[in-house]
Structure 1
Amino acid sequence: MASPLRPGTAALRVVVVGGGIAGLAAALRLLELARSHGASLDVRVIEAARRVGGKIQTERVGGFVIEQGPDSLVTSKPHGLQLVRHLGLEDDLVAPGPAAGRTFIVHRGRLRPMPQGFSLGVPQSVRALWAASLFSLGGKVRASLEPWLPPRRDGADESIAAFLRRRLGREVADRLAAPLLAGVASGDPESLSIQATFAQLVRLEREFGSLMRGMARRQRSSGTNGPDRDPASRTAPDGEGGRRPAAAHPSPFVTLRGGLGRLPVEVARRIVALGGRIVPATRVVAMEVVPAGAAGGRPAAYRVHAADGGRETVDGVVLAVPAWAAAALVEPFLPAVAERLAAIPYKSTAVVALAYPQERAGRLDGSGFIVPLDEQRFVTACTWVSSKWPGTAPPGMALLRAFVGRPGEDPLVLPDEELVGRVRADLAELAGVAGEPALVRVYRWPRAMPQYPVGHLERMAAVRAALQEHPRLVLAGAGYFGVGVPDCIRQGEAAAEALWQALQDRSRAPLAGR
Structure 2
Amino acid sequence: MQLPPRRARHRAPPPGRLPRLLRRRPRGARGRAGGARLRPRHPGRDRRHARGAPVRAQRLHGLRRLPQAARGRDATLLEDGVSAPARRVAVVGAGIAGLSAAHALRRHAAARGERIDLAVLEASAGVGGQLQSVREDGYLVEWAANAFRTGVGPTQDLVQRLGLEDEQVVASPDANRRFILHGGRLHALPSGPASLLRFAPMSLLGRLRVAAEPFMARRVEREESVFEYAERHIGREAAEVLLGTMVRGVYGGDARALSVDAAFPIMKTMEREHRSLVIAGIRGAKQRKAEGKTTWSLRGGMHALMQRLADDLGDAVRTGAPVRALAYDPDAGFTLTLGAGERARFDAVVLATPPRVTAPLVEPLEPAAAAEIGAIEAAAIAMVALAVPRSQFATPPDGYGFLVAPSEPLDVLGVLFESNVFPGRSPEGHALLRVIMGGAARPDILSQGDDALVATARDVLEHTLGLRGPHTRSWIYRNPAAIPQYRLGHRARVARIEAHLGRFPGLEVAGNAYRGIAVGAIVDDAEGIAGRVLAAAPARPVAA
Q: TM-score, normalised by structure 2?
A: 0.81
The residue number in structure 1 matching 2:156 is 81
CA spacing shift, 1:217–1:392, aligned 2, 3 Å: closer
**2:132 paired with 1:28:** no
Is residue 461 of structure 2 the alignment partner of residue 427 of structure 1? yes
Match of 1:439 in 2: 473
Q: Distance in 1 between matches of 2:178 and 2:208?
A: 25
Relative distance call for 1:6 and 1:283 in structure 2 (3 A) is closer
**TM-score of the superposed pair, with normalisation by structure 1:** 0.86
Q: Choose from 322, 325, 331 the match for 1:286.
A: 325
In 1, distance between residues paired with 2:542 and 2:124? 32
Q: Deviations over 1:366-394 (max 9, x none)?
A: 11100012112121111111111121111
Find the structure with the greater CA-based Rg: 2
Contact 1:115–1:134 (CA under 8 A) maintained in structure 2: no
Distance 1:264 1:217 in 2: 34
1:341 and 2:394 equivalent?
no
CA distance in structure 2 between the aligned counterparts of 1:443 and 1:87, rounded to whole angstroms: 29
How far residue 108 of structure 1 moved from its aligned partner, in angstroms, is 0.5
**Which amino acid is 1:185 matched to?**
Y
Give the Cα separation in 1 of the matches to 2:304 and 2:172.
20
- Pair 1:409 & 2:409 matched: no
Counterpart position of 2:128:
53
How far apart, in 2, do the equivalents of 1:338 and 1:349 lie?
Answer: 25
SS at match of 1:341: helix
Query: How many angstroms does 1:131 deviate by?
Result: 3.7
**Equivalent of 1:321 in 333, 353, 366:** 353
Contact between 2:253 and 2:441, CA under 8 Å: does it hold in 1? Answer: no
Aligned AA (2:341): G
Query: 2:303: which partner in 1?
Result: 261
- How far apart are residue 211 of structure 1 and its match? 1.3
Whether the 8 Å contact between 1:157 and 1:194 is mirrored in structure 2 is yes
Rounded to whole Å, the distance in 2 between the matches of 1:255 and 1:216 is 26
Partners of 1:27 and 1:432 lie apart in 2 by 47
3-state secondary structure, aligned to 1:474: strand
Deviation at 1:488, TM superposition (A): 1.3
For this pair of structures, how many residues does the alignment match? Answer: 466
Structure 1 residue 50: Cα displacement: 0.9
The one-letter code sitting in structure 2 at the alignment partner of 1:205 is E
Partner Cα separation in structure 1 for residue 383 and residue 433 of structure 2: 10
- Distance of aligned partners of 1:150 and 1:393 in 2 relative to their CA distance in 1, 3 Å threshold: closer
- 2:138 is aligned to 63
Q: Distance in 2 between the 1:513 and 1:187 partners?
A: 51
TM-aligned CA distance change 1:140 to 1:60, over 3 Å: same
Q: Which of 270, 276, 284 does residue 312 from structure 2 map onto?
A: 270
C-alpha distance in 2 between matches for 1:338 and 1:35: 33
State the identity %. 34
Of 334, 345, 362, 1:330 maps to 362
Question: After superposition, what is the alpha-carbon deviation per residue over 1:297-339, rounded to whole angstroms, capped at 9, x for unaligned?
Answer: xxx4111112322221111101111123211111111111111
CA distance in 1, matches of 2:191, 2:263: 23
The answer to whether the 8 Å contact 1:95/1:251 transfers is no
Cα offsets for 1:417-446 (capped at 9, x unmatched)? 111111111111122122221000001112
Instruction: Name the SS of the counterpart of 1:52 in structure 2.
Output: coil
Mapped to 2, the partners of 1:39 and 1:61 lie a distance apart of 44
Aligned with 2:197: secondary structure?
A: helix
Post-superposition shift, 1:146? Answer: 1.9
Whether the 8 Å contact between 2:182 and 2:407 is mirrored in structure 1 is: no
Q: Secondary structure at the match of 2:219?
A: coil
Instruction: Answer yes or no: is 1:177 the counterpart of 2:243.
Output: yes
What code does the residue aligned with 1:500 have?
Answer: L
* Deviation of the 1:87 alpha carbon: 0.5
- TM-superposed deviation, 1:493: 2.5
C-alpha displacement of 1:178: 2.5
Structure 2 match to 1:393? 426
RMSD: 2.3
Residue 106 (structure 1) aligns with: 181
Q: Does 1:147 align with 2:224?
A: no
Secondary structure in structure 2 of the residue aligned to 1:395: coil
Report if the CA contact (8 A) 1:6-1:38 is conserved.
no
| Worse-superposed segment, 7-16 or 49-58 | 7-16
Match of 1:378 among 407, 411, 417: 411
Inter-partner Cα distance in structure 2 for 1:39 and 1:406: 45
Q: Contact conserved, 2:248 with 2:413, CA < 8 A, in 1?
A: no
Q: Give the AA of the match of 2:205.
A: G
Aligned position for 1:452: 486
2:30 counterpart residue number: none
Cα distance change on mapping 1:162 and 1:311 into 2, 3 Å: same
How far is 1:217 from its partner?
A: 4.6
* Residue type at the aligned position of 2:321: T
1:203 to 247, 250, 269: 269
Shifted more, 71-80 versus 193-202: the winner is: 71-80
* Partner residue in 1 for 2:170: 95
Cα distance in structure 2, aligned partners of 1:455 and 1:35: 38
Is the 8 Å Cα contact of residues 217 and 232 (structure 2) preserved in structure 1? no
Contact 1:6–1:40 under 8 Å retained in 2: no
- Kept in 2, the 8 Å contact 1:21–1:485? The answer is yes
Distance 1:462 1:145, change over 3 A: same
Map of 1:234 onto structure 2: none
- Measured in 1, the distance between the counterparts of 2:112 and 2:271 equals 44
Distance 1:109 1:472 in 2: 53
Q: Distance between the aligned counterparts of 2:323 and 2:334, measured in 1?
A: 13
Change (3 A) 1:96 1:301: same
Cα distance in structure 2, aligned partners of 1:133 and 1:414? 34
Look up the equivalent residue of 1:413 and give its one-letter code.
S
- Residues 394 and 162 of structure 1: CA distance in aligned 2, closer, same or farther (over 3 Å): same
For residues 137 and 37 of structure 1, the distance between their equivalents in structure 2, rounded to whole angstroms, comes to 60
1:167 paired with 2:215, answer no
2:434 counterpart SS class: strand
Structure 2 CA distance for aligned equivalents of residues 413 and 162 of structure 1: 33
Cα distance change of structure 1 residues 217 and 98 upon mapping to structure 2, 3 Å threshold: closer
Distance 2:520 2:218 in 1: 30
Instruction: Give ranges in structure 2 of 5+ residues lacking alignment.
Output: 1-60, 64-73, 78-83
**Equivalent residues of 1:301, 1:513 under 8 A apart:** no
Matching of residue 472 in structure 1 with residue 514 in structure 2: no
Structure 1 position 448, deviation (Å): 2.1
Identify the residue that residue 118 of structure 2 maps to in structure 1. Answer: 43
Q: Does 1:157 align with 2:223?
A: yes
Range 355-364 or range 41-50, more displaced: 355-364
Secondary structure, aligned partner of 1:405: strand
What secondary structure is seen at the aligned counterpart in 1 of 2:180? strand
More displaced 10-residue stretch of structure 1: 438-447 or 467-476: 467-476
Q: 1:3-28, CA deviations, whole angstroms, 9 ceiling, x for partnerless residues?
A: x9984233332110010011001111
